Amino acid sequence: MRLNQLLGTEFPLIQGGMANIATGKFAAAVSNAGALGLIGAGGMKADQLREEIRICKSLTDKPFGVNIMLMNPDADEMARIVIDEQIPVVTTGAGNPGKYVPAWKAAGIKVIPVVPAVVLAKRLVAAGVDAVIAEGTESGGHVGEMTTMALVPQVADAVDVPVIAAGGIADGRGLMAAFALGAVGAQLGTCLLASEECPIHENYKAAILKAADSDTTVTGRIAGVPVRILKNRMARQYLKQEKAGADKMELEKYTLGSLRRAVFDGDVDTGSLMAGQVAGMVHEIRPLRAIFEDMMSGAKDCLARLNEEGV
Ligand code: TUI
């Protein structure tokens, strides 16, 4: 099924969960611009999620969703809130949402988990999810091991529900590549950080624009919480301590609140500036609508070029 039909959107594009960044206002802006906006509940408490849902509903008549980050201590309560609030689409990240799927499906919610590997995709499809997001390690934030290039076709072969590609997609070429790999659409994060509507601190946006291809790294591999961020003082110190065998408590000194420091205070030295490997191809701040339109027309141009040139 085409992703637009499944989601009720104009474009086959969904926004990533982006904890602490994707507020109700931002999700509404994404939905109003033609993609599927999501409230990123990752850094929220349950009450905050209710409030952001209320704000989002007041700002858009278009469908929007909620992303539940399963490591959030309030995840159980949030799983009930999305049912109470009749949210049409729920995506999940950073864990296995299997225990919530029956109740969400019974409530008529479209359930679309992020999967980092085929095994979880198969298990969740058997549990009844509507689609899966195959997210490669090119992504910003919490990442798996597989690359988008290797993961998407293997998930597409393994399941009979629509697959959405994520990780490493920031223009029309990337979107067309995702289609070529068997996806029906793409989830976007990094390229939306550089939108006019994105509520992150301007220093964070400037750091994305300045980044080159190799300017991200992954912290927390040893602690079991791999998170891709832009290289900065915080990342360097973290990786040094990690290599030296620092324990979890010591490492948490660096990470505690570090995403909030980046997003709200614009602290680009000690904050976690979560970003994907495509940060190096994001060069200007634009309105969301322009980002989506250019991505769609870029994909069509890419297909025309491939048809002309042959393979
Ligand atoms: O969730 C994300 N990206 C995120 S969450 C986040 S908030 C955060 N902040 C600090 C530390 C950690 C997280 C920032 N970025 N992407 C989706 C994603 N899900 N990537 C990988 C996974 C994943 C990993 C393991 C999904 C399922 C999974 O399953 C393990 C299992 O239990 O089978």
Is the minimum distance from the CB of 136 to ligand 1 under 6 angstroms? Answer: no
Q: What atom of ligand 1 comes closest to residue 123's alpha carbon?
A: 33
Residue partners of 44: CB distance under 8 A and separation at least 6? 52, 72, 74, 78
Please tell me the residue having the least CA distance from ligand 1 atom 8. 142
Q: Can you give the pLDDT at residue 249?
A: 79
Question: Could you tell me the distance, in angstroms and rounded to a whole number, from the CA of residue 94 to the centre of ligand 1?
Answer: 2
Token pair of 226 as six digits: 């791999």
Up-side HSE of residue 275: CA atoms within 13 Å toward CB? 36
Average pLDDT of 302-306?
97
- 137: pLDDT strictly greater than 90: yes
Contact 65, 91 (CB under 8 A): yes
146-189 confidence digits (pLDDT tens)? 999 999 999 999 999 999 999 999 999 999 999 999 999 999 99
79-113 confidence digits (pLDDT tens)? 999 999 999 999 999 999 999 999 999 999 999 99
**Between 3.20.20.70, 3.40.50.720, 3.40.50.10860, 1.20.58.100, what CATH number should domain 9-199+285-308 receive?**
3.20.20.70
Q: Can you give the pLDDT at residue 233?
A: 95
Task: Please list the residue range(s) of the chain that carry CATH number 3.20.20.70.
Answer: 9-199+285-308
Q: What share of the chain is helix, strand, coil (3-state, %, to 5)?
A: 45, 15, 40
Alpha-carbon span 164 to 134, nearest angstrom: 6
Please tell me the residue having the least CA distance from ligand 1 atom 13. 142
Full-model pTM:
0.97
